Amino acid sequence: MPAVLIVGAGPTGLTLACTLARQGVTVRVIEKSPGFHRISRGKALNPRSLEVLADLGLGERLTAAGRTGLVFRKYFAGEHVSDTDPLAEPPDGPESRYAGPLSIPQWRTEDLLRERLAEYGVQVELGTELVGFTQDEQGVRAELADGRRIPADYLVGCDGARSPVRRRLQVAFEGRTDEQQTMFCGDVEVDGELDPTVWHQWFGPDGAVLLCPFEGSSVWQFQATPETGPDGRPLEPSLEGFQRIFDRHARMPGVRLRNATWLSVWRANVRMAEHFRVGRVFLAGDAAHVHPFAGGLGMNTGIQDAWNLGWKLAHVLTGQAGDALLDTYQEERLPVAALALDLSTGAHAKVMEAVRVPGVGVEAVATPDLRGLAVHYRWSSLAGSATAGSGGADERPRPGDRAPDAACPGPDGAPARLHEHFGGGRFTLLGFGAAALPALAAAAERRPGLRTLALDAGPGTPADPQGRIRHAYGITGDDLVLVRPDHHLALLAPAAEGRRVDDYLAALGR
């Protein structure tokens, strides 16, 4: 019997499955579609999602398959206006291994996640449709279209905006769909002289068309203001229609589009589920919230939903925490989803306004918020106290914040980053200074599953000669910092108060 049944094999479901399988949790992933799609769809992973997937062992694979530093080539009324590198001056904000987003088609991200999942012995079950389920205090019983039944401890709906899981739970999906804000999207190949190393963006007073290339692929993602009929409603998308739109805006008769493998009409949906948990059933990703495309927050927010829920399910199922810990999934992620809806809605409005101005384009939405690094859970019941250090509370990260990253040598002295020390789905206790060593040793003895790391504590421990790690954490004395498995701060305490760490872990979900 699987401990967790995941419905839907998109980026959200696959991230959750990898997170659980790595922790030794038995998981099954079912997918209604008979085959894996090859659609570019969500085409960028933001820095926070890259940190998540790197922790799952996919950092180098993703970097090799995608492209960073994609230049935006802008045109207005058919004339070239400028080339812009959004990463030429990275926005101010928290330090990360990743300065900006990675351009990569969604199907490739899913391929790599499935490869990672297979390394844990789990395969996606294609052509497997959920038609119903029941639940009680003992578990969930899922019913499939072919008559089979699957018992599980928990069920997670990662099954998209039309989520059958959400509908069967009768959870309201509140918000709006704006039929007046639409866009044609598709995947095409291009014949003719068009630089395949830049994202081409043609704007004008009556609309826009964008063609984005992908590393190692002949496919480009097409986005454009739609063609409309006499009634003002969008026509059905077609390759011929894509070509007409391109010709009108780009004015490059030598360029022809062909082999459209994805044709879609995107409509501005802004919706969020009223609840993310009902008993033993959870919602994540598009099943829980849908966003305007601007800012690329949809897929990224789903990946980060899975990251939050995954460690909590694993801790409950392995006996490290009580079931009440799972209530903090909704407590933490619902406000984040609401913020993402606000950000993406605002970003969409900025883009619609900016495209009518020569030289301004989709980079009008670029803010540190869209990197995902500033997302925090300061309001959470899991945010412990912060009494370490002597800096003022406003000068250092607080419990609930993402744990700062920084350069931090590995055990062999080789270059590494602090987040690399956090990998593996466990709590990590950082001890700053020699006075923290006894607390680290005692905590490791009491909690065998707890990872401990001494910093700037003398011979044999990573040094912080410039004080960059201390500065990032606002630490001036000898202190303890407890980091959650999802790299958010749990609590900060003086080195002499190590028992508070044990008290925190003992109280998880109980």
For residue 413, the model assigns a pLDDT of 74
For position 344, what pLDDT does the model report?
A: 64
Cα–Cα dist 495/390, whole Å: 13
pLDDT at 135 (0 to 100): 98
**Going edge to edge, which strands form the sheet with 281-283?**
124-125, 27-30, 4-7, 154-157, 281-283, 277-278
Contact 371, 47 (CB under 8 A): yes
Structural domains in the chain? 4-67+104-173+270-354+362-371 (3.50.50.60), 393-506 (3.40.30.10)
Interatomic CA distance for residues 297 and 403, integer angstroms: 21
Nearest to 5 by CA among 127, 13, 163: 13
Per DSSP bridges, beta strands 428-432 and 281-283 are unpaired
Block residue for tokens 């590995």: 410
DSSP string, 274-322: S-SEETTEEE-GGGTEE--STTSHHHHHHHHHHHHHHHHHHHHHTTSS-
Averages of pLDDT over each 10 residues, the chain, 510 residues: 94 98 97 96 94 97 94 92 79 77 96 98 98 97 97 98 97 81 92 95 90 95 91 89 95 96 86 96 96 71 97 96 96 91 60 53 54 91 75 72 90 84 92 96 92 91 86 93 97 95 90
pLDDT, position 410: 76
pLDDT at 175: 84
The pTM of this model reads: 0.93
Instruction: Say what the pLDDT of residue 69 is.
Output: 86
Instruction: In whole angstroms, give the CA distance from residue 305 to residue 311.
Output: 11
